[in-house]
A and B are shown apart, each in its own frame.
Chain A
């Protein structure tokens, strides 16, 4: 009896010790970034301390009032939001089609496109660049360096996953509901928008948020398919590396701003993140 209580106590200490350690390991790098963002250049090279003793505001004010940086931020917002909206609407239509009609070959198409998401993006940078600069052009206008270019491109990564995610949810809505509405004289469109869409709304919200986070976080394509007008915040952040005599405080501030929206969204999607990241293969 006594040994088992002893073992239990040790078990508890071990468990909490482990998880407190894990939390510290997780938090410290993020916390350090915030610390750096709150210090001036001189303070940074003083004796290292992990405490935030003062707040050096120019690190934030300078980039946030810079028109170039503001444009990056606005571009990121526009691209991420439009892409997430587009993906959500298309996924709703597509999964409704896939779950209510027997469309030969349609499933295979999505299976194929999922390999696109798995493929190394670096392998697609070149073809996308060439297509955007040389094929999709009308007169002087090309898809290169446009927001619409990025919005469409991110569909390649977000759409297959959104269809995967929504398909299961859509199959859960009984066909009888559709049929009952038809009897009442509703047409397809009304059924989809008034009956089915509200029922799958939580799934749509998760799709939207996960797509948004992906589009917001993407770097490689954003860096290579834009030059001036459509640059996003991730490219802005990466630009700090190449600049000589990097202003680390400012870089930390920009990085903090860049991760903030995703961290806020995390609160809403935490429960679904596994389903999202495994394409619904593992449900939580």
Chain B
């Protein structure tokens, strides 16, 4: 009665769709990356290039700059989100009147379309009527112009990301904190451990799997940011906020450099997979230590 055939039949539509729109592009991009291909250049069609595209990548200053910029952005924003999220999660563990209301308001940004988040922050920062430049000028005398100052643009993008995603970090850590057994904490307090010791030697180790999961998800999200930044600064001024996603997009879409763009896509994909893999190993290690 229980032949596997029925099981595979139920699974088949899912697998077919994932194969067609999930795996096919991967192999196709692998294929295209070995060619010189620009439909709007003089030479027609695809010209065999071997690994030349990859060789070109390693010495491409603009590409390497945007990788470094993306890393810096991801590291900074995820660090801030984790610290802030942990602090806020701690305050939500115990119930207090109004907690549900605060929580509901607080998670609003989570379901907003990234492109709408970008639009929101753009409206906040437009010189002339946006409240941020207005009050910064009035109270601190700071000349705030996203389109002119690279540092301001970079910081604003980080702040936008923190605004958008700290609620996610908070809620996830809160879920972890709530699921944590209470006895060891109480026992430690009875034994005279101070707050810092409890936090350092009990909370942090016990929260490790959840922390790593959050770092994993947030880091991956931050590394592939496009929509919000595109809406807020379009990667500018200059290349100040041109992160890797926008950089690939620029090479591929307006310049139609298909072969080179494919190679770039692959390399970024490779970095992502390696990073994923390292974080998975870290997670597995933590899992082992607990047993």
Known: A25-B163, A45-B128. A123 touches B248 (CB 8 A): yes
Say yes or no: B14 contacts A93, CB within 8 Å.
yes
Question: Number of contacting residues on A, CB 8 A?
Answer: 89
A22 to B106, CA, bound (A): 7
B-chain residues with CB within 8 Å of residue A263 when the two chains form the complex: 108, 111-112
- Given contact pairs A90-B17, A118-B220, A127-B26, A30 touches B108 in the complex (Cβ within 8 A): yes
Q: How far is the CB of B40 from chain A (nearest CB, A)?
A: 14
Q: A219: which of B21, B115, B171 is its contact (CB, 8 Å)?
A: B115
Q: Is the CB of A33 within 8 A of B128?
A: no
Query: Which of A19, A113, A216, A237 has the most chain B CB atoms inside 10 A of its CB?
Result: A19
Least Cβ–Cβ distance between B237 and chain A, in angstroms: 15
Given contacts A241-B234, A265-B111, contact A124 B25 (CB under 8 A): yes
Chain A's closest residue to B10 (CB) is A97
Residue A159 CB within 8 A of the other chain? yes
Task: Please state if A252 and B113 are interface contacts (CB–CB under 8 Å).
Answer: no
For the complex, what is the distance from the CA of A248 to the CA of B120, rounded to whole Å? 11
Task: Determine, out of B50-58, B185-193, B194-202, B225-233, the stretch whose residues face the partner at the interface.
Answer: B225-233
Q: B124 and A282: CB pair below 8 A?
A: no
Interfacial residues, chain A to chain B (CB-CB below 8 A): 12, 15-16, 18-19, 22-23, 25-27, 29-30, 32-33, 36, 44-45, 48, 50, 90-91, 93-94, 96-98, 100-103, 106, 109, 113, 115-116, 118-128, 130-131, 135, 152-153, 155-156, 159-160, 163, 182, 188, 213, 216-220, 224, 234, 237-238, 240-241, 248, 251-252, 255, 258-259, 262-263, 265-266, 270, 273-274, 277-278, 281-284
Q: Given A18, A125, A259, which contacts B116 in the complex, CB threshold below 8 Å?
A: A259
Check if A123 sits within 8 Å of B273, measured CB to CB. no
Contact A94-B11, Cβ < 8 Å, known A125-B252, A273-B171, A277-B110: yes
Contact of A120 among B7, B88, B178, B244 (CB under 8 A): B244
A74 to B114, CA, bound (A): 20
Once the chains are docked, how many angstroms separate the CA of A12 from the CA of B97? 11
In the complex, residue of chain B having the shortest beta-carbon distance to the beta carbon of A93: B10
> Is A32's CB under 8 angstroms from B28's CB?
no
Bound Cα distance A50, B28 (Å): 52
* Minimum C-beta distance from A43 to chain B (A): 9
0 or 1 for each of B198-227: is its CB under 8 Å from A? (1 = yes): 000000000000100110010010011011
Q: Considering only CB atoms, which chain A residue lies closest to B18 in the complex?
A: A113
Asked if residues A23 and B20 are in contact (CB atoms below 8 Å), the reply is: no
Q: Which residues of B contact A224 (CB under 8 A)?
A: 253
Residues of A with C-beta under 8 A to B231: 237-238, 241
With a cutoff of 8 Å between Cβ atoms, the chain B residues found around residue A119 in the complex are: 224, 269, 272-273
- CB pair B268–A120 under 8 Å, yes or no, is yes
Interface check B42, CB cutoff 8 A: no
B150 at the A/B interface (Cβ < 8 Å)?
A: no
Interface residues of B (CB under 8 A from A): 1-2, 4, 6-11, 13-15, 17-18, 20-22, 24-26, 28-29, 32, 88, 91, 96, 98, 102-116, 119-124, 126, 128-129, 131, 134, 163, 167-168, 171-172, 175-176, 178-179, 210, 213-214, 217, 220, 223-224, 226-227, 230-231, 234, 244-246, 248-249, 252-253, 258, 261-262, 264-266, 268-269, 272-273, 276
Set of chain A residues within 8 Å of B131, measured between Cβ atoms = 32, 48, 50
Residue of A nearest to B257 (CB): A126
Other CB < 8 Å A-B pairs besides A130-B258, A255-B116, 15 of them? A94-B10, A98-B7, A101-B7, A113-B18, A122-B248, A124-B265, A130-B32, A135-B24, A159-B17, A217-B111, A219-B227, A262-B111, A266-B110, A273-B111, A278-B213
> Given A27, A188, A251, which contacts B6 in the complex, CB threshold below 8 Å?
A188
Known: A29-B163, A118-B276, A263-B111. A98 touches B11 (CB 8 A): yes
Whole-angstrom distance between the alpha carbons of A227 and B278 in the complex?
39
Q: Given that A23-B102, A48-B134, A94-B10 are known contacts, is A18 also in contact with B171, CB under 8 Å in the complex?
A: no
In chain A, what residue has the closest Cβ to B232?
A241
- The answer to whether B105 and A100 have CB atoms under 8 Å apart is no
Are the CB atoms of A106 and B113 closer together than 8 Å? Answer: no
